[in-house]
């Protein structure tokens, strides 16, 4: 086993936090896919990385930053997205907001209109209490203390019984290859179910998320209807979105 290649792969994964197999193939074009998997197995045994389907992450990677950190990041971009999102709202519709801080910004911006709002974010439900007209439903389930999101079997069973007209989903990372990604399996299962159930699904992605890749893909471009960003997306991303039928706002 090539120790120089292993060291280079280890350093690359630690710098990127999360990588795909395709990225490693591009980094080491001279070796086979089987060799890359063997190298990853060796790094896993040594405790440097954790493999998952389609890639690997550094053991130093801690997933999403905590809620109280994210709530102060790129609020101007989140506000831009929230303003665009409100154009999609229709009175008397059923709207889902996940526990992302972008959706918290949307909740703070919402007018006092007749909506049925379902959320997995306790902080979002509390924010919506300032309004009189929306009917607010907070999902049951276990709470992730780090990102203040509800998740688990009870959450999924409750969502399975609810009809959703419009769903707004925050992302932790996105790319043409990996699609839309998040940091925990619990979040992935909730987001995936909501996208499957919603008549219209909207992913909200600030441009800084294009630099991030998280372990769990909850949707590909073809799975969602709209992407709202706070600025122009790269040409390669726009081309892939056009092919997938994804509308960018």
Domain CATH code at residue 14: 1.10.10
Q: Does 85 lie in the same domain as 180?
A: yes
pLDDT at position 121 is 97
Q: Does 101 lie in the same domain as 15?
A: no
pLDDT at position 163 is 96
Say if residues 96 and 168 touch (Cβ distance below 8 Å): yes
Q: In the chain, what's the furthest Cα-to-Cα distance? A: 65
* Residue 58: count of CB within 10 angstroms of its CB: 20
Q: Does 119 lie in the same domain as 39?
A: no
Say if residues 20 and 54 touch (Cβ distance below 8 Å): yes
Spell out the per-residue pLDDT of the chain, length 249, in tens: 688 888 889 888 888 878 899 999 999 999 999 999 999 988 887 767 878 888 888 866 545 656 666 555 668 889 999 999 999 999 999 999 999 999 999 999 999 999 999 999 999 999 999 999 999 999 999 999 888 999 999 999 999 999 999 999 999 988 888 899 998 899 999 999 999 999 999 999 998 888 677 888 999 999 999 999 999 999 999 999 999 999 999
The pTM for the full model equals: 0.77
Tokens 């999360």, located at residue: 18
Q: Does 75 lie in the same domain as 43?
A: no
Q: Does 48 lie in the same domain as 97?
A: no
Give SS3 for 210. helix
Q: Does 242 lie in the same domain as 163?
A: yes
Q: Does 111 lie in the same domain as 27?
A: no
- Exposure string of 164-182, with b = 16+ CB inside 10 Å and e = fewer, is bbbbbbbbbbbbbebbbbb
Q: What gap in Å lies between CA 11 and CA 208, rounded to an integer? A: 23
Looking at 13, 35, 58, the residue that finishes a domain is: 58
Q: Does 86 lie in the same domain as 194?
A: yes
CATH of the domain at 219: 3.40.50.1360
Q: Does 174 lie in the same domain as 110?
A: yes
pLDDT at position 69 is 60
Q: What gap in Å lies between CA 136 and CA 122, rounded to an integer? A: 11
Helix, strand, coil share of the chain (percent; to 5): 45, 20, 35
Q: Does 243 lie in the same domain as 135?
A: yes
Q: What total number of domains does the chain contain?
A: 2
Which residues constitute the domain of residue 215? 67-248
Q: Does 190 lie in the same domain as 118?
A: yes
36 CA to centre of own chain = 27
Looking at 58, 82, 98, the residue that finishes a domain is: 58
Q: Does 74 lie in the same domain as 16?
A: no
Q: Which stretches within the chain are classed as H helix?
A: 3-16, 21-27, 33-45, 67-70, 75-85, 101-109, 122-128, 153-160, 185-197, 235-244
């Amino acid at each position: 086993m090539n120790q120089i290649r292993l060291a280079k792969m280890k350093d690359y994964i630690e710098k990127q936090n999360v990588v795909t197999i395709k990225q490693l193939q591009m980094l080491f074009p001279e070796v086979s896919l089987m060799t890359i998997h063997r190298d990853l197995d060796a790094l896993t045994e040594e405790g440097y990385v954790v493999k998952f389907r389609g890639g690997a992450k550094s053991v130093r990677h801690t997933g999403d930053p905590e809620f109280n950190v994210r709530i102060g990041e790129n609020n101007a971009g989140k506000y831009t997205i929230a303003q665009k999102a409100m154009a999609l709202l229709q009175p008397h519709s059923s709207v889902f907001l996940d526990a992302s801080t972008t959706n918290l910004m949307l909740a703070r911006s919402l007018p006092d209109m007749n909506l049925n709002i379902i959320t997995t974010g306790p902080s979002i439900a509390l924010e919506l209490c300032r309004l009189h007209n929306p009917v607010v439903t907070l999902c049951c389930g276990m709470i992730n203390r780090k990102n203040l999101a509800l998740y688990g079997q009870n959450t999924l069973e409750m969502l399975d019984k609810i009809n959703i007209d419009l769903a707004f989903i925050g992302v932790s990372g996105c790319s043409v290859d990996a699609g839309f990604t998040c940091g925990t399996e619990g979040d992935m299962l909730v987001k995936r179910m909501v996208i499957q159930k919603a008549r219209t699904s909207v992913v909200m992605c600030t441009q800084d998320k294009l630099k991030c890749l998280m372990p769990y893909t909850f949707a590909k471009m073809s799975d969602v209807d709209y992407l709202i960003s706070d600025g122009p997306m790269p040409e390669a991303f726009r081309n892939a979105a056009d092919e997938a039928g994804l509308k960018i706002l």
